[in-house]
Structure 1
Amino acid sequence: MEVPLRVTLPYRGPMSPPQATRADPRILDLGGDFYDEVTPAYFPKAIPRFFNQRWAERIGLGALAAAARERHFARFDPLPGNLSRPLALRYHGHQFRHYNPELGDGRGFLFAQLRDDRGRLLDLATKGSGQTPWSRRADGRLTLKGGVREVLATEMLEALGVNTSKSFALYETGEELWRGDEPSPTRSAVLTRLGHGHIRIGSFQRLAYLGETANLAKLVRYCLVNLYGEAETNDPLADAARLFDLMCGATARLAASYLAVGFVHGVLNSDNIAISGESFDYGPWRFTPEWDDAFTAAYFDETGLYAFGRQPEAIHWDVAQLAESLALLGEVPGLADMLNGWGARFQEELVAALLTRLGINPRGAAADKPLAAALVKALQARTVTIDRLFFHWRGGRDPGGERYAAEPYRALAALLDGRGTIPTHPYWSDPEPCSLHIEEVEAIWAPIAERDDWSSFDGKIAAIRRMGQAISTPLDPIRATGQQAIVTGGV
């Protein structure tokens, strides 16, 4: 695999002091052509199962008492100064390369918009909150297992440095749901997500399909200003070009980060690709244990369209649908060149993601490209899991031993010589890395289903966050003493 240059560290930022809530429902600027007001479902129960306190503090909701949490995130009473009614957004999209003009928020809605401690506009949106005009024949509900799986996915991806939506609140709702792909009846839940934008490629596809050029230009401006913090111009074509350029970069980083952490989203349809480049909407996701290009997450992905190694291709294809939609505005400057250059951006971002996860600082193309290529070859050897290799080799350490005696590892060790750093967090001395393969997900769910025992779930969230702290802890340069390098932390 060709892997050129560039390293950008993901933002994990220090926890900021609690702030006041800054409501900012900017979605209303778009007007009624973009959404439908809806009424939340009434649920017989509201049993709290998860609340993201650390992100609640970052958006000014950290002081909410339990009763207020329930009102807002199980009953969906409006937040002060925010949307008075939830909004189901309208969009279309390609599903497994087949165009579907009947999509839209079918079991969720946009509940509120507010600013975080960095000034970013964030959306609080739901999954499982009831039927909308876009539900088609579905019940608009979410299984509790689906909610648990999404919490686990978002926590793990955030800890690994992937740009992802956050699971904000999960309530069990006391209904019995019937599903064809799991034992039924099964328990129900409603999930609130926190994400940087609710607009996806399919939002633009819908407007292009309907020929609504004025609304298409309006949506471009909305995304450019509110999701990327860019100043709009009086030139719709220039705005479209700038948005597409930013979005190409964001999605290239997303695709690279999926590979670096071994993640398979499962359903990379164009309605599941956010314009902000933030990963979201987790259904049949999985982490592949080994670097297996053919590994799939969804049992219904019979052709492997969204397999692990095909995810960059899938995301690029979706980005092409955005380009086609924007072309309705006219001759967007550089549109084809930016689309054709997406692959090179992805390759650069893959180097960034691989070196970041390994804990190695960049040195430039001449050194970083061969190192990333050697790392991929070591991963492709598939003698250890992806998690274990990055755990053992963190900071450029050469663990040695029989397991890493083969040529791909020796080639990697040679390129890492002199580039090491010291992983100082105690996590790196644990006997095993923190992983989240499908067997463990099922093992976490089993005691919840059988006896309402949430201890494994709570323990896993704590372990994942500890790993995230270890990954974000700065690494110290190795101090050479003669021919020896002093390295702390065991394997």
Structure 2
Amino acid sequence: MPVTELYRPETLHEGLGEPFFDRVAPATFPEHRLRYRNQRWAARVGLDGLSDAEWIEHLGRFSPLPGGFAHPLALRYHGHQFRVYNSDLGDGRGFLFAQLRDAKDGRLLDLGTKGSGQTPWSRRGDGRLTLKGGVREILATEMLEALGVDTSKTFSLIETGEALMRGDEPSPTRSSVLVRLSHSHIRIGTFQRLAFHDDAAAIERLLDHVCRHYFPAIADLPAPERALAFLEEVTARVARLGAGYMASGFVHGVLNSDNINVTGESFDYGPWRFAPVYDPTFTAAYFDESGLYAFGRQPGALGWNLSRLAECLIPLIGLKTAEKVLATFPTRIQQEFRAALLNRLGLASAGEEADATLAKAFVDFLTVTQAPFERTFFDWRGGMASAARAKHSPSAAHYEAEAFTPLRAALAAHEPAPTARLDHPYFQGAAPCTMLIDEVEALWAAIAERDDWAPLYAKIAAIEEMRSAYE
């Protein structure tokens, strides 16, 4: 098998022991048609040398990778779903297929699946993934990565030749199996399951595993100090994630505690959407009737989930200490939002007060004018250095309104950052790359109606240009 010298397999999750997973067999599919392979990230883990046939063998039929797991692992966890606790969760249509190292920085990475068949946790589901769901996940992960949000990466999508029945899209519909690359699949819900079973020893074993393999700087601290440092680290990472959502106009749609992992990555994309304008009430999921996970409520939802993690650690750190850490979350996410905003605008910090003024002015302007979200970031990349460019924008009228005056002053107080890259072809273009629902549906329609994948691949190429501009 032509793996490169960068390929470094691991089997560390097996070290947690049987109570944390079930060994399962992948589904057998009638056909395998490779629709997407992430060659850029494959190179980072030493799998870019696989032929398409070898790729399908390992990432469609799930023959073990050299030195990897002999059998896939369906992970066990619980979680709150729309604030209702569910003790009947776990990997119901996916599994942990392999672990390996990122050649760039040595991080432990997981290859996890979606649509790979039934497991003991399928709850009468078929364990499958619709092709549309796989296409949507590619688009979500590519776009978020380009915008600087810490996200899982869609590694592979293979169409599998089954006709699936679904109640939320025209059926029968086409099937697929997806593989995602992520830093971790250990969720807040993984800890919740152990707390539910009152298994203090297992919580300490999981905590030791997580710190040793994901947070090595705190791995050798005594147990109480390590648990506290772990909660602080997860809180910081989840704050960064939430800020990234808000600065990107992204609505995940299902921020349940089983969808929040301890390394602070965004993953598992279902009804996601990007907001066309700054609207705190904008929701992604048709079934989110109360707007629990609306755009503007995402920071609160993430904070609520962190509280569920803290509850699992109270026997180790105490209630008051847990509350003290959680109380830092609102300030952390505000700070991270300001940093994310500066990064998206390509501006250098002008100090805490000036940065806070800019963040408020930017949000106020978007809220009052309902100017297009992504267009505004694109037009004002580099701040006032782009004033002439913004003058010719389709949104120019918004920038002449009185509501723009405070934002203009705030932008003028900041210098372009060295990373602004205003000379990049992307910022010299006529319009930003966007990912609104009409665009997503049009890309899918080309596939569903004509089996035309060219528009999807063209969109991925456009996102790649945006990523190179922001990188």
**TM-score, normalized by length of structure 1?**
0.91
Distance in 2 (alpha carbons) for counterparts of 1:235 and 1:190: 42
Q: What is the aligned partner in structure 2 of residue 166 from structure 1? A: 153
Q: SS of the residue aligned with 1:381?
A: helix
- For residue 418 of structure 1, report the CA deviation from its aligned partner: 5.3
Is the partner of 1:296 in helix, strand or coil? coil
Deviations 1:103-129 (A, max 9, x none): 000000000000002100000000000
Looking at secondary structure, tell me which structure has more helix per residue: 2
Q: Aligned partners of 1:433 and 1:390: how far apart in 2?
A: 9
For residue 337 of structure 1, report the CA deviation from its aligned partner. 0.5
- Answer yes or no: is 1:419 the counterpart of 2:406: no
User: CA separation of 1:449/1:216 partners in 2, compared to 1, >3 Å: closer, same or farther?
Assistant: same
Q: Secondary structure at 1:175's aligned position in 2?
A: strand
Between the aligned partners of 1:239 and 1:316, the Cα distance in structure 2 is 21
Q: 2:8 aligns with which of 11, 22, 26?
A: 22
| 1:76 matches 2:62 | yes
Contact 1:165 1:279 (C-alpha < 8 Å) held by counterparts: yes
Pick from 28, 47, 65 the counterpart of residue 51 of structure 2.
65
Q: For the residues of structure 2 that align with 1:150 and 1:373, how far apart are their CA atoms?
A: 32
Three-state SS of the structure 1 residue aligned to 2:217 is coil
In 2: Cα distance, 1:407 partner to 1:382 partner: 10
- The Cα shift of 1:453 comes to 0.4
Q: Is the 8 A contact 2:255 2:293 kept in 1?
A: yes
- Secondary structure, aligned partner of 2:143: helix
Q: Which residue of 2 aligns with 1:435?
A: 434
Offset, 1:218: 0.9
Mapping of 1:292-331 within 5 angstroms? 292-329=279-316, 331=318
Amino acid at match of 1:328: P
Moved more, 385-394 or 426-435: 426-435
1: CA distance between counterparts of 2:430 and 2:320?
54
Segments of structure 2 that go 5 or more residues without pairing to the other structure are none
State the Cα deviation string for residues 395-418 of structure 1 (Å, max 9, x = none).
Answer: 103324433111232211112225
> What amino acid maps onto 2:248 in structure 1?
V
Q: Distance in 1 between matches of 2:315 and 2:273?
A: 37
User: Counterpart in 2 of 1:129?
Assistant: 116
Is this contact kept in 1: 2:220–2:226, CA < 8 A? yes
Residue 400 (structure 2) pairs with residue 405 (structure 1) = yes
Given that 1:255 and 1:312 are in contact with CA atoms closer than 8 Å, whether structure 2 keeps it comes out as yes
Identity %: 55
| Contact 2:276-2:374 at 8 Å conserved across structures | yes
Q: Give the CA deviation at 1:332.
A: 7.2
1:65, 1:220 → 2: CA distance?
A: 39
Task: Name the amino acid aligned to 2:48.
Answer: G
Whether the aligned pair in 2 keeps the contact of 1:293 and 1:309 (CA below 8 Å) is yes
Q: Is the 8 A contact 2:6 2:44 kept in 1?
A: no
**Count, aligned residues:** 455
- Give the structure 2 partner of residue 334 of structure 1: 321
What does residue 139 of structure 1 align with? Answer: 126
CA contact (8 A) 2:38 2:156 kept: yes
| Higher relative contact order (CA closer than 8 Å, sequence separation 6+) | 1
Partner amino acid, structure 2, of 1:468: R
For 1:366-404, what per-residue CA distance to the aligned partner results, in whole angstroms no more than 9, with x for missing partners? Answer: 221111111111121243211000010011033244331
1:100-111 matches, cutoff 5 A: 100-111=86-97
Q: In the aligned structure 2, how far is the partner of 1:382 from the partner of 1:298?
A: 25
Question: Any conservation in 2 of the 1:238–1:332 contact (CA below 8 Å)?
Answer: no
Extract structure 1 runs of 4+ deviating beyond 4 A.
none
TM-score, normalization by structure 2: 0.95
For structure 1, which segment, 93-102 or 19-28, has the greater mean C-alpha deviation from structure 2 after superposition? 19-28
> What secondary structure does 2:286 align onto?
coil
The correspondence for 1:98, drawn from 77, 84, 91, is: 84
* Partner Cα separation in structure 2 for residue 203 and residue 71 of structure 1: 30
